[in-house]
Structure 1
Amino acid sequence: MPGWGNVRRRIWFNPFMTMQQDPATVRFSPGQEILHRQFTGERLVYVRAVRVVAHDELGLRLWIPRNTPMSATMTSDGRGLRDMPFAEWVHVERELTPMRWTGPDIFMYTPPDSGHSVMFFWYPKDQFFGWYVNLEEPGVLWQDENAAGIDITDQDLDMWVNRDLSWSWKDEHELEERLNYPDHYWVADADAVRAEGLRVARQIEQGAFPFDGTWCDFRPDPSWDLPRDLPAGWDRPRVRG
């Protein structure tokens, strides 16, 4: 992708590994540690180590506690994508920077064959607060002898859902701003992104699964340790379906 500056990073990949990437056959195990990775084009821009809660015909459920190890794309002076106009971001030098997740604990649900995921938030820790719908390209699941994960592209436009099922768009201004830079922007069809959001909105307004109270009382397995670091293979090339 043009305009991403002079970013260098180590690429780890073994071409002789046995890779599975068919969502119909890849199945993660409860408690398994996998990688949740975001890309723009072929560039890795965000990655964190997450814990599998369950993975079955309903879809993939993940647990992302506070202080989870991750890497996010930042400038040398510690600024991220939202800290400057997009016109500046596409030209400034930046690189993946190790850090820890400082937000609240997250239960993330990714339905099969869908262009979104749903995050459940609690605040305080024992009180369900609301849902965050992240609109994204359908994720590609993969695993081999050494690592496993899901690769996505975030589509920027999101939704916040209150406990009373009222909802609102989030980050509309970011989507509109970035659409003015088609040579650098990764969202190819903003109308399709919004249509996916409106489809989810109908589920929300009807109180349909997963906005029907399912998993709002979730608690993680107390035996799950917090990963110390990102596992080997976190920066391998993007897996395509």
Structure 2
Amino acid sequence: MTIWEMLAVFAAGIGAGTINTIVGSGTLITFPVLVATGLPPVTATVSNALGLIPGSISGAIGYRAELAGQRRRILRLSAAAATGGLCGAVLLLLLPSTAFETIVPVLVALALVLVLLQPRISRAVRRRREREGSRGNPDGGPLLFAGLLLASVYGGYFTAAQGIIYLSLMGMLLHDTMQRLNATKNVLAAVVNTIAALFFLFVAHFDWTAVLLIAVGSTIGGQIGAKVGRRLPPAVLRGVIIVVGVLAIIQLTTRG
């Protein structure tokens, strides 16, 4: 890897860490850069997963104020994220690299529709609960657990736009602010990345130079993303999610 390629990977790490903390889809920045340096797709995916761990943790720390009072919820949902992430990591080594290429843009598009409709859905759910005298499950119940489990399988496999899918599911099934849900999303992403990376350490090939460059860059980006993301009003944050999601769909459908 030349010095210019190293600088490009480092810059991509900063960009990925920033956008992952605010929305998700940072892999759509780092993955093409890693492949452009000559790394095979699976090696690039594994190196990317390892490198993004510090960025995910950095972003979660930046959102620590919004995590207050969510311990029980996060522990429960982290179990789904860890299980799904491990399954996805195994699938990465077993399935062809094109396995998810068709379904992923569809999943992201559906997630964006849910993000767009989330305020209306939340109001409808709240009215129904008021009529029925039910407060609902503060952790989202079995439906959210199952949805995040499946989303985490994909996250362990590739991670691109994983955060958008998380936010759409939680926004639909949890009655909470977008910023608090975003904080939870950052923790779950960190869990998935860590579980998948621990698996990859023992069974997959990766490039240590790429890992270290992305790790340092994404850590910086995680702090930048937390400072920017926490100041965005809910409507603006939702708009950013939709714009990034549309760009992700375009890149996923035109890649390679």
Same fold (TM over 0.5): no
Return the structure number with greater strand share: 1
Q: Higher relative contact order at CA 8 Å, sep ≥6: structure 1 or structure 2?
A: 2
Compute the TM-score of the two structures, normalised by the length of structure 2: 0.30
Compute the TM-score of the two structures, normalised by the length of structure 1: 0.31
Return the structure number with greater helix share: 2
